Amino acid sequence: VQILLKLWRNGFSLDDGELRSYSDPTNAQFLESVKRGEIPLELQRLVRGGQVNLDMEDHQEQEYVKPRLRFKAFSGEGQKLGSLTPEIVSTPSSPEEEEKSILNAPVLVDDSMPATKIQIRLADGSRLIQRFNQTHRIKHIRDFIIQSRPAFATTDFVLVTTFPNKELTDESLTLQEADILNTVILQQLK
């Protein structure tokens, strides 16, 4: 961490922070550590064991003047509101879990025909990954969800593609016809 210590006639400041009086005991202790060539405890806590590079500027002939705030572009976080996709709260499954869900799958896959993997993100935040033939129908994805999670058997839900968001209403289409090979499908509750 790079820190600039500025010494003024009436106190000192760190980087472009507030003026700190020389007469305050905490500040005096801070300066004593610097004079001894040690990193002050306050800065050690700030960097949590990292490296500190402390530069100093002498402005003791000048009174402290509060620096003008420079424009700083937004550096916070954004939150998406009203997303069509459910928030995924589960952690990604390991390859072992993925293989287990494929092995225990109630979908019969003909290995002599072209196949695809579909990841299904469920409304409860969990996910399923299943291998299907490209000739399987969207209805087979719905059946697979209900077989894997019987709690959804009595729940009204729709299947939606991720991007662009499109509801898969015609469940008689094959996965290839619906153009959803090797994709992620979202389950949304009605």
Domains observed in the chain: 2-58 (3.30.420.210), 115-189 (3.10.20.90)
CB 20 within 8 A of CB 71: no
- Mean per-residue pLDDT, 112-130: 90
Calpha distance 117→109 (Å, rounded):
11
User: Three-state DSSP class for 52?
Assistant: coil
Alpha helices in 25-133 (DSSP H): 25-35, 41-47, 95-103
Segment 85-105, tens digit of pLDDT: 555 444 455 555 545 444 455
Beta bridge partners of 155: none
pLDDT for residue 117: 92
User: pTM above 0.85?
Assistant: no
pLDDT for residue 71: 63
| Lowest-pLDDT choice from 26-40, 52-66, 103-117, 151-165 | 103-117
Q: Which of 140, 146, 178 is nearest to 161 (CA)?
A: 178
Beta bridge partners of 6: 13, 57
- pLDDT above 70 covers what percent of the chain? 81
CB 27 within 8 A of CB 19: no
Mean pLDDT of all residues in the chain?
82
Alpha helices in 48-112 (DSSP H): 95-103
